[in-house]
Amino acid sequence: MFDDLRQQADKNLEEEPKENNFLAEEAPRQESRRLLGMTAPQRFVITTMLFVWACVISFFFLFVMDKVMLF
């Protein structure tokens, strides 16, 4: 049983052509990593602006509720 498997495996290995042509293969292309069509620096600017707006709105809310005083 195992001898038959070994013989079949040897036949399959002999039948496969060995190609060492590595130049013909194309390298896999990297997909562009974009979220909503923006690059990483653009996303950083947007998130920074949102963070600043959240801080400003929070400060004004606390100021209106008299939880924070300017002087």
Q: Which pLDDT belongs to residue 67?
A: 93
In a domain, residue 59? The reply is yes
In a domain, residue 43? The reply is yes
Dihedral sign of CA atoms 32, 33, 37, 40 in order: negative
The b-or-e profile of 4-21 (16+ CB within 10 A means b, else e) is eeeeeeeeeeeeeeeeee
Q: What is the pLDDT along the chain (71 residues), one digit of tens a residue?
A: 667 777 777 776 666 555 665 666 676 776 677 778 899 999 999 999 999 999 999 999 999 999 988 87
Domain that holds residue 57: 38-71
In a domain, residue 4? The reply is no
In a domain, residue 21? The reply is no
Six token digits for residue 29 = 């292309």
Domain count, the chain: 1
- Coil, strand, or helix at residue 39? coil
